[in-house]
Amino acid sequence: MTTDPKRRKIDASDSTDSQDSTVLKAAVASWLPLSVASIDDKFCFNSTTYHTPVPAVIAQNKDAKVVLGVDEAGRGPVLGPMVYGVAYCLEGFQDLLKSQYGFADSKVLKDSVRQTLFRLWHDPEHELYKNVGWATRTMTAKDISNGMLRSVSGPGPYNLNKQAQDTTIQLIREVLAKGVSVSAIFIDTVGPPAMYQAKIQRIFPKIDITVTKKADSLFPVVSAASVAAKVTRDINLHWFNKNMDILKGKPLGSGYPSDPNTSKWLNASVDAVFGWPFGLLRFSWQTAKDSLERSRAAKVTYEDALIPKGRYKDIGYLMGPTTGLVNALFYARDCSL
């Protein structure tokens, strides 16, 4: 007896962290999610955002409570983008995401299950499409590295946590701008949960905010966001594996430094001057820096490296002796510039 895909639930055989390259190649050959297909010029490697239309059920029930989940995929890889996903639905529909459709943390689902769920979610006739909206922000390796390696003589480095938090805030604001009355938001944490939650709560004071570890396992709407982000990232990377001339036929793997295929390609493909193909690799990752050093790539001295370090000294000695209570307190605090 076959199982109705509209009611398919997870079973034990679905629990795996592995990435099935055969499934991914087939997906790239036959289907691209809108979050990938909508990118106009993929070889520019610009970060892009995709939003579905607001589901009719939500648009027609403007006073009903809507819950929204946020999660990411691809924080650690040296290859490919980091993708943030959001999913939102009526509060009463959230439990059905797990009990009826089998959404769970994307890392415990097989590629085939993730892709089946996401493809059903694209079908205008399917209940998922009619009830659950989603959006993704594809943060390219180029833009991630550009931010992290920003000059200290300019705005300074834009670290990954800050990029991730700003992307989360951007996606939430864009959903709200569509007129969606979100009453609760669940976020898989970046950094200390309490501090992050307080920050998001200040920005959206009228919405109940929950930021926690393992949110993708605790809240089905976050699980759905996790699936959208994971499938988008994986297919994005494999699209380049198939369509970028220098990468065709090369087993890139998942893009994680611990993946043997990724590590092998990374270390075997170093150009002495340019390193690797533009846009796909995170040059700000220590893994990339180590590979360049092992390969004896050309050394480059950047302008920032020429700026003297520690040039600002304590000028307190110019202010005279430490007489009086105010001066004593000033010097006791070891004020320096």
Q: Which residues are annotated as a binding site for a divalent metal cation?
A: 71-72, 188
**What residue numbers does the annotated binding site cover?**
71-72, 188
Closest to 110 in 3D by CA, of 42, 24, 168, 44: 24
Q: What span, in angstroms and rounded, lies between the C-alpha atoms of 159 and 284?
A: 10
- Residue 93 — φ and ψ, nearest 5°? -90, -15
Half-sphere exposure of 240 (CA within 13 A, CB side): 26
Q: What span, in angstroms and rounded, lies between the C-alpha atoms of 98 and 79?
A: 31
Do residues 132 and 55 make contact, with C-beta atoms less than 8 angstroms apart? yes
Torsion of the alpha carbons at 26, 30, 36 and 37, rounded to the nearest 10: 160
Phi-psi category of 324—alpha, beta or left, where left has phi over 0 and alpha has psi -120 to 50?
left
Collapse the DSSP code of 271 into the 3-class scheme (helix H, G, I; strand E, B; otherwise coil) and give the result.
strand
Phi-psi category of 176—alpha, beta or left, where left has phi over 0 and alpha has psi -120 to 50?
alpha
**Type of residue numbered 259:** D
Place of tokens 């493909």: 269
